[in-house]
């Protein structure tokens, strides 16, 4: 099968599975909702304070929630030894990686669509900067989390206590992306200065780690 066909089939299969089971999306949504509520209980913020803090809170909530989806991407393929079948199939393995990443990207984007209004509601948020840039930040930041997460999910599936290990591997690597995303979000919300540099940084991060992931994915999946 060609790259595009494998990608399309795998992605369609993942979306269909998720549509029927709603495992990842439900657990992510409920978890993120809990984080939002607990944060808003823990800090009583004025509208001014919330502008400077919400960037951080939002991305931490997203990072934790993303791990829930990521843990299920590869665990799903262990049943009936599907992963082994992938290994011996004459299809390009990179397309599997891209399909999984896009799938996770869609799940986390849905999560963002639900979580963002909640943040606005609970924290009385009103952006002082160019709001449309927030969309760009969420897309780039989301991809950064998901592309690394999908890759490290494929690594952590090969270890003991895999659910525990994934965040331990993913969080250190994600720190620069998280910093840039938080800095961009805060800059836009407070309207002080331009988020241009952070956005470029995130874009470069995405390109570099997507490339590294593509190059190393087959090696990792075939590792014995």
Partner 1 sequence: MKSKFAIFALITFALLTWGLYEAMIGAPTEATMGPVQRIFYYHVPCAWVMLLCFPANFLASIAYLVKRNAILDAFAVSTAEVGVVFCTIVLLTGPIWGKPVWGIWWTWDARLTSTLVLWLIYVSYLILRKFSIGGPNPVLAASLAIFGCIDAVFVFGAIRWFRTQHPQPVFGSGPNSGIDPRMLHAFFINMAAFTAFGILLVWLRFVLERTRQKVEEAHAMKALRATR
Q: Does 146 bind partner 1 (CB under 8 A)?
A: no
Would you count residue 207 as binding partner 1 (CB under 8 A)? no
Shortest distance, position 179 Cβ to partner 1, whole Å: 5
Rule CB under 8 A: is residue 201 a binding residue for partner 1? Answer: yes
Q: Is 147 in the site for partner 1 (CB under 8 A)?
A: no
Question: Whose Cβ is closer to partner 1: residue 39's or residue 205's?
Answer: 205
d(C-alpha 2, C-alpha 5), whole Å? 5
Q: By CB under 8 A, what part of segment 179-198 binds partner 1?
A: 179-180, 183, 197
φ/ψ of 158, rounded to 5, equals: -90, 10
Nearer to partner 1, 65 or 165 (CB): 165
| Total site size for partner 1, rule CB under 8 A | 31
Give CA–CA dist 52/79, Å, rounded: 45
CB 117 within 8 A of CB 25: no
In the window 92-131, what residues touch partner 1 (CB under 8 A)? none
CB of 44 to partner 1, least distance (A): 25
What 178-182 contacts at long range (C-beta under 8 Å, 24+ apart), as own/partner pairs, is: 178/59, 178/63, 178/141, 178/145, 180/141, 180/205, 181/55, 181/59, 181/137, 181/140, 181/141, 181/144, 182/55, 182/56, 182/59
Of the candidates 74, 82, 87, the residue with the CA atom closest to the CA atom of residue 219: 87
Contact residue for partner 1 among 68, 165, 188, 199 (CB under 8 A): 165
Q: Which residues contribute to the site for partner 1 (CB under 8 A)?
A: 148, 151-152, 155, 158-161, 165, 168-169, 171-173, 175-177, 179-180, 183, 197, 201, 205, 208-209, 212, 216, 219-220, 223-224
């Amino acid at each position: 099968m060609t790259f595009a066909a494998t990608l399309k089939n795998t992605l369609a299969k993942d979306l269909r599975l998720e549509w029927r089971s709603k495992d990842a999306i439900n657990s992510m949504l409920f978890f993120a909702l809990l984080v939002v509520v607990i944060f808003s209980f823990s800090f009583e913020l004025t509208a001014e304070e919330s502008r400077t803090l919400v960037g951080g809170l939002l991305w931490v909530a997203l990072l934790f929630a993303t791990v829930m989806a990521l843990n299920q991407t590869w665990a799903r393929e262990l049943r009936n030894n599907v992963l082994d079948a992938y290994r011996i199939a004459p299809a390009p393995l990179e397309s599997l990686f891209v399909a999984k990443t896009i799938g996770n990207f869609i799940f986390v984007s849905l999560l963002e669509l639900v979580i963002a209004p909640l943040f606005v509601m609970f924290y009385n948020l009103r952006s002082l900067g160019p709001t449309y840039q927030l969309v760009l930040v969420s897309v780039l930041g989301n991809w950064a989390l998901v592309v690394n997460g999908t890759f490290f999910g494929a690594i952590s599936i090969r270890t003991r206590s895999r659910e525990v290990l994934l965040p331990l591997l993913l969080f250190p690597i994600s720190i620069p992306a998280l910093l840039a995303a938080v800095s961009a979000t805060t800059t836009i919300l407070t309207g002080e200065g331009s988020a241009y540099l952070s956005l470029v940084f995130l874009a470069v991060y995405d390109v570099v780690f997507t490339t590294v992931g593509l190059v190393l994915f087959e090696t990792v999946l075939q590792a014995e």
